[in-house]
Amino acid sequence: MKRLTSLIIIAILSVICCFSFAGCDKSGYTYWQTNGEEASDGSRLTYVSELKFSSSKVSQVWINVDSIKPDQTTIVVELKISTATNKKINISLTKNDIKNAKKNDGWINIYSGDPITTSNKAIVMVTDELRFNEIYIVNDKNESVKPEFSGGGVKVGTSSENIWTKEQIDNMKKGDFGYNANPAYNIVDEQDKFPTDLLGSND
């Protein structure tokens, strides 16, 4: 009887946890989880999420990162037209930065300035263990470029052989090389959660 009572209490607490933390995920977002692993030669793996959108002059880039394992990490966003890089954004992010971003619902501005030469692709790259919720890219009209996922995976050096489409990722099973229960396409699946009041006026 005592065992049954204990199990009931545990179940109730689990339900409370889920309602309190949006499905037991504190951020309330789906997310891209990276693990900070090394290749067989000892070099760091680069985790990649490749995005595409209609040709646009990008004026702002925002990211929402829920947590990082090291005290500091670097996130790179390359804006491209076809294969040419127009802008490479390197942002150094600390645990304190993530904590301070809570006042903006977790959103951090990593670029805001003169519109960048027309781009139609963005490549997001990280090397450390982190939980990446979402990226929001804004054009020179203060509107979202409405990015779509085109590929994701890992790179060793400049190799791109381990980049997969969403369909290929969804067909992977646990144990397959490249399998990720929280894949790279999750960073553009909740664009409507971005608080557009952060953009300010376009005047």
- Residue 5: is its pLDDT beyond 60? no
Query: pLDDT tens-digit profile of 89-143?
Result: 999 999 999 999 999 999 999 999 999 999 999 999 999 999 999 999 999 999 9
User: What pLDDT is stored for residue 6 in this prediction?
Assistant: 43
CA-closest candidate to residue 157, choices 48, 80, 34, 32: 48
User: What pLDDT is stored for residue 36 in this prediction?
Assistant: 92
**% of residues, the chain, pLDDT over 70:** 84
Q: Where are the beta strands (DSSP E) in 140-200?
A: 148-155, 163-164
At position 168, the amino acid (one-letter code) is Q
Query: pLDDT tens-digit profile of 151-178?
Result: 999 988 766 678 999 999 999 999 998 8
CATH topology of domain 31-196: Jelly Rolls (2.60.120)
- Residue 10: is its pLDDT beyond 80? no
User: What pLDDT is stored for residue 63 in this prediction?
Assistant: 98
> What pTM value is reported for the model?
0.84
As a whole number, mean pLDDT of residues 140-148 equals: 97
Label residue 13 exposed, middle or buried (CB < 10 Å: 0-12, 13-18, 19+).
exposed
- Residue 197: is its pLDDT beyond 70? yes
- Residue 40: is its pLDDT beyond 80? no
Distance CA 17, CA 90 (A): 36
CA-closest candidate to residue 106, choices 185, 31, 27: 27
Distance CA 63, CA 201 (A): 20
Query: pLDDT tens-digit profile of 62-100?
Result: 999 999 999 999 999 999 998 899 999 999 999 999 999
User: What pLDDT is stored for residue 201 in this prediction?
Assistant: 55
Task: Give residue limits of the domains in the chain.
Answer: 1-30, 31-196
